[in-house]
C-alpha cells in the first residue's frame, strides 16, 4: 500500500466520523425543538399524586375544590407551582402543608389581606392586619 492509499483511507474514515457527528447533532437539535414545543407541565396524575403526598388530607381536598372551580383554577395552578418550589428548595422535607397553609397561599396569590375581627359587648370591629 502506498502512502496515498493510506492517506485516502484516513480521509474517508475521518469524513465518515464527521458525518456521524453532524447527524447526531441534527438529531439532538430536533429533539430539543420538539421538547420546547411540547408542554413542559407535569401530567395530571403525577401532579395529583405529588400534592396528595405533600398536602394534608383536608388541604388536598380543599385544593381539589379550587382546581375544579373554573374561576379559581389559575390560583390552584399557582399554589401547585409554589408547592413545587418549596419541595425544590427543601422546605417540605418530612412536612405536610395544612389546609390553613393552602388557604394562606390562596389569599396571598389573590391579594386578599388577612383581617382580624374584634367583638366587644355588642359591637363588631374589623381590622386589616399586615
Residues 29-80: tens digit of each pLDDT: 777 666 555 544 557 778 888 888 889 999 999 999 999 888 888 999 999 9
Bridge partner list, 119:
124
Q: Which three cell numbers stand for residue 6?
A: 493510506
| Residue pair 103/62 in contact by the 8 Å Cβ criterion | yes
Q: Beta-strand (E) ranges in the chain?
A: 115-120, 123-128
pTM over 0.75: no
* Residue 70: HSE in the Cβ half-sphere, 13 Å Cα cutoff: 0
| Residue pair 104/89 in contact by the 8 Å Cβ criterion | no
How far apart are the C-alpha atoms of 57 and 78, rounded to whole Å?
19
Amino acid at each position: 500500500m502506498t502512502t496515498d492509499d493510506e492517506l485516502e483511507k484516513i480521509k474517508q474514515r475521518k469524513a465518515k466520523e464527521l458525518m456521524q457527528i453532524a447527524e447526531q447533532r441534527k438529531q439532538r437539535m430536533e429533539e430539543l425543538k420538539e421538547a420546547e414545543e411540547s408542554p413542559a407541565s407535569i401530567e395530571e396524575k403525577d401532579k395529583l399524586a405529588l400534592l396528595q403526598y405533600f398536602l394534608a388530607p383536608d388541604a388536598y381536598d380543599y385544593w381539589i375544590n379550587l382546581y375544579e372551580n373554573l374561576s379559581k383554577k389559575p390560583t390552584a395552578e399557582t399554589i401547585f407551582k409554589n408547592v413545587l418550589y418549596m419541595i425544590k428548595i427543601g422546605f417540605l422535607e418530612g412536612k405536610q402543608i395544612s389546609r390553613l397553609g393552602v388557604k394562606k397561599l390562596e389569599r396571598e396569590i389573590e391579594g386578599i389581606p388577612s383581617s382580624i375581627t374584634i367583638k366587644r359587648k355588642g359591637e363588631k370591629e374589623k381590622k386589616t392586619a399586615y
